[in-house]
Structure formats: C-alpha cells, structure tokens
Amino acid sequence: MFCVRRAAQRVQQASARAFSSVPKPQGPWQAYLALLERSPLPTKVVTSAGIAGLGDITCQTVFEDHPFDAKRFAIFTTLGGVYIAPTLHVWYGFLNRAIAGTAKTAVAKRLVLDQFVFAPTFMASFFAVLTATNDSEVPVTDRIRSKISTDWWDAVKTNWVVWIPAQFCNFGLVPPPLQVLFSNVVGLFWNAYMSYISYKPAPKEITEETK
C-alpha cells in the first residue's frame, strides 16, 4: 500500500508540474508588458507612432477646420515612431542609470535635467525635423529659423505646465520600463497640441520675403 500511495503522489506531483508549465492566457496589458520586456525599443516605437498618429487625428478633426491631410498624418506618425520613441528610450535609460532611485532628491534631479536641459533642446530639434519635411518654396533653413523663433518659447512654456507635474509622477511612481508608455499616454493630448503648433502657417513676413 505504501508503494502505491508513493506512486500516486508522484503522479500527482508530475501532473501539477505539467499543468503549471502550460502558459496561462494573457490579457492585453500582460501581453503588452511581455512585449515590452522582450523587445523594448520596437514596442515603444510602435506605441509612440500610434499615439502620435492619434494626436494628429485629434488635432485635425477637433481643433482645425480643413480637409484631413493624410500626408501630414503620415509624417507626424512616422516621426513619433522613428524620432520621438528612440530619443526618449535612450534619454530615460540614461537618466535612470545616472540618477537611480525614487527618493525625492533623485526624482527632483531627473526632473530638472529632463525639463530644463532635455525638453527645450528636444523641442527645437523636433520643430527643425518636422519643418524640414514640409513642402515649401521658402528655403528650409529660413523656415526652421522662423519656426523656432516664432513658436519654440511658447511651446517650451506650455511643455513645463503639462510635463513638470506629469514627469514628477513618471519618475517617482512609474517603473522605468513603463516610463515611455506613461509619457506617450500624456502625450496623446500633448501631441494634439504639438501637431497644431508644428503645422501653424509660417509668419507672413517670411513668405513675403522670398517672393
């Protein structure tokens, strides 16, 4: 009898191990986290592109009154994926390595670097890249100079209103692998604003000077 009981116990243990090794069904959030862990940068690229595209759709359909511009949507979406996501991926990785932890002093240091060093620089570079993709008879250097001188400071000030509290929460509460996602979620509304300000018509005097 003892041998029979031992054999039965072993069968039960083997069955339990077999069932525990069967992958459990994943919900969308768990599947996303698994993708983020397995392929962090490609996942962030796709996520950022999608949210940038949604931001531009929101801007064009809600805040502007003109036929939908598919080319503009494609450009803004592409830049969200190939420019914004990799830049933030590298930057947040650097911040979390250079100033690790969730203590208030560490969060404050990351916030200062992010908002007063990185953000103004990134804003100017984004305006430059996006402006360069637009068709115009005006020389690209003139358009970039005009765009930055006209809209950069307003965008930076608006950025501080939105992103200082958002990034305080991001750096203090959100795990590092999810920080780009958090930024992208807040960025859904921010991208609508950026789409609007990025595609504002060039100042009249600039276009007239080139005629």
Residues 9-23: tens digit of each pLDDT:
553 454 445 434 444
Give me the residue label for tokens 């595209």. 53
Q: How far is CA 210 from CA 83, 96, 149, 204, in A?
A: 30, 47, 18, 10
Spatial distance between the Cα atoms of 23 and 25, rounded to a whole number of angstroms: 7
pTM for this entry: 0.76
Q: What single DSSP character describes residue 22?
A: S
- Domain assignment of residue 146, given as a range: 39-209
What is the per-residue pLDDT for 41?
A: 95
* Total count of domains within the chain: 1
Residue 163 domain flag: yes
- Average pLDDT of span 123-137: 90
In a domain, 11, yes or no: no
Residue that is written with structure tokens 């947040």 in the block: 92
Residue 203: pLDDT over 60: no
Sign of torsion, CA 185 37 97 117? negative
pLDDT at 144: 92
Q: Is residue 150 part of a domain?
A: yes
Mean pLDDT within 95-102: 89
Q: How many CB atoms lie within 10 A of CB 184?
A: 24
Structure tokens at 26: 């994943």
Torsion of CA 58, 61, 65, 70, to 10 degrees: 90
* Residue 14 maps to a domain: no
Number of Cβ within 10 Å of residue 121's Cβ equals 10
Q: 32 with 43: CB under 8 angstroms?
A: yes
27 domain residue, yes or no = no
pLDDT for 159-182, tens place per residue?
A: 999 999 998 888 888 888 888 788
Confidence of residue 50 (pLDDT cuts 50, 70, 90): very high
Phi and psi at 82, nearest 5°, equal: -90, -15
